[in-house]
Amino acid sequence: RINGDRLWADIVTTARFGGTDKGGVTRLTLTEEDRQVRDWFVGECRSLGCTIDVDGIGNIFATYPGEDPSMPPIAVGSHLDTQPQGGRFDGVLGVLAGVELIRTLKETGTVLRHGLTVVNWTNEEGSRFSPAMMGSGVFSGASCLEAIEALTDRDGTTVKTALETIGYRGEIPVGHVGFAAYVELHIEQGPLLEAAATEIGIVTGVQGVRWFDVSITGTEAHAGSTPMAQRDDALVAASEIVLAVRDIARRHSPGVGTTGFATVGPNSRNVVPGTVQLQIDMRHPSEAGLSQMQAALEQAVAAIDAEIGLKHIWSKQPVVFEPATVEAVRASAEALSYSATEVVSGAGHDAAHIAGICPTAMIFVPSKDGLSHNEAEYSSPEECARGTDVLLQTVLQIDLK
């Protein structure tokens, strides 16, 4: 069994890096706050006897040695970056659980056959730089390093510069690490486990996602002297798109659709808006569902009387995890007598990329009120500890194979 108090203390500690006054965390990827939490993580792992590797996209691999150095390590982990005004658990839990596993192994003198690698993936959130799951995406070959390094944030800073600025553009080539398996513990970020009063989610896969950028060009004009019939109002067109995204998602249940980002130019009360930028997120468990949603979006945009540029900038197909590894999670939850149920993840995860290159599974613990990407995000110490115990059992089972 892992030590739940020690794990909780780490959650409290890491929440200080970028902590907000409402009890949340703003720790966007590759910022100074991200550097601080990375340094803390590296320091902890070093003190436990891990070797540290950082690759060219800033992914950190902390490896605790096993008996047989010829075997590839088993990997666990998640991400330390957060959303703006995000929560204390999203991502962090999976990394800290990995650290706690190593502490438990060390304390009990347990030596696995495989090494155990705790990974912190760079930019899982995709808020500062698109796309999400960036570090695991390059690692798994889903995207190429050169293109990703050149991406910019809203201030024009490139990924490469941001990595160099915080000192985490590492030496080792991206993707040159092999894993025996990858298991990621994460909070559910949705309402299903809580509603079912279930302790553990056995994640069987991850729904697909497509991201779109929208650029609307209207005509700036005086809000008092421009007759309604002569307006070309970019915010009116944008509002029609926001409602269309909502309506399309409703018609394609269980799909979801969100316009999470909007900026208006020149953004002055008495000026008819001339430009609006929107960022849209659409998801569905099936690729066919996603395609239908995209077609409906394109149709809705075409029907709006305005100059609109719609760009499909990223997608990730639905993923099904390897059944044997999912079974190991189920067996571990059962062995610990925790109630458990199968779920498909609504949120994207690094595990969805890693599933393409090695046997992969995920473990969910409940989120209070289903909330995430919210400062009020919460999972109790007991819930976090249960998930970490299941993670430990799953690693032990995989190690025996």
Shortest distance, position 148 Cβ to a copy of itself, whole Å = 17
* Residue 293 backbone phi and psi in degrees, to 5: -65, -40
**CA dihedral of residues 348, 350, 353, 359 (deg, nearest 10):** -120
Helix (H, G, I), strand (E, B) or coil at 123: coil
Q: Give the interface segment with a copy of itself, choosing from 38-46, 176-184, 239-247, 332-340 (CB under 8 A).
A: 239-247
Determine the Cα–Cα distance for residues 78 and 390; give it in Å rounded to an integer: 16
90 marked as part of a ligand binding site: yes
Helices 92-107 + 32-47 axis angle, to 10:
10
- Which 65-104 residues touch a copy of itself, going by CB under 8 A? 83-86
User: How many residues lie near a copy of itself (CB under 8 A)?
Assistant: 73
207 forms part of the interface with a copy of itself (CB under 8 A): yes
Closer of 228 and 302 to a copy of itself (Cβ):
228
Closer of 4 and 257 to a copy of itself (Cβ):
257
Q: Is 69 exposed, middle or buried (0-12, 13-18, 19+ CB in 10 A)?
A: exposed
Shortest distance, position 132 Cβ to a copy of itself, whole Å = 7
Closer of 40 and 261 to a copy of itself (Cβ):
261
Shortest distance, position 297 Cβ to ligand URP, whole Å = 18
Tokens in use for 42?
Answer: 């590296």
Closer of 114 and 349 to ligand URP (Cβ):
349
Q: Is 236 exposed, middle or buried (0-12, 13-18, 19+ CB in 10 A)?
A: middle
Shortest distance, position 282 Cβ to ligand URP, whole Å = 11
Shortest distance, position 277 Cβ to a copy of itself, whole Å = 10
The answer to whether residues 204 and 319 touch, using CB atoms and an 8 Å cutoff, is no
Q: Which of 77, 137, 170, 348 binds a copy of itself (CB under 8 A)?
A: 348
Shortest distance, position 397 Cβ to a copy of itself, whole Å = 27
Q: Is the peptide bond before 381 cis (omega within 30 degrees of 0)?
A: no
401 forms part of the interface with a copy of itself (CB under 8 A): no
Which segments of 204-322 does DSSP mark as H helices, in order?
A: 234-251, 287-302
Binding mask of the shown chain, residues 19 to 58, with x at each position contacting a copy of itself by CB under 8 A: ----------------------------------------
Contacting residues toward ligand URP, per CB under 6 A? 90, 124-126, 132, 189, 222-224, 270, 347-349
- Residue 124 binds what, of ligand URP, a copy of itself, none (CB under 5 to 8 Å, by partner type)? ligand URP
Q: In what order do the strands lie in the sheet with 307-316?
A: 256-265, 275-284, 208-217, 307-316
Q: Which residue is nearest to ligand URP (CB)?
A: 348
373 marked as part of a ligand binding site: yes
Helix (H, G, I), strand (E, B) or coil at 137: helix
The answer to whether residues 85 and 375 touch, using CB atoms and an 8 Å cutoff, is yes
The answer to whether residues 219 and 257 touch, using CB atoms and an 8 Å cutoff, is no
- Residue 9 binds what, of ligand URP, a copy of itself, none (CB under 5 to 8 Å, by partner type)? none
260 forms part of the interface with a copy of itself (CB under 8 A): yes
- Residue 219 binds what, of a copy of itself, ligand URP, none (CB under 5 to 8 Å, by partner type)? a copy of itself
284 marked as part of a ligand binding site: no
Determine the Cα–Cα distance for residues 296 and 302; give it in Å rounded to an integer: 10
Shortest distance, position 374 Cβ to a copy of itself, whole Å = 4
322 marked as part of a ligand binding site: no
Listing DSSP states for 308-343 in one string gives EEEEEEEEE--EE--HHHHHHHHHHHHHTT--EEEE
183 forms part of the interface with a copy of itself (CB under 8 A): no
Query: Residues marked as binding?
Result: 79, 90, 125, 186, 373
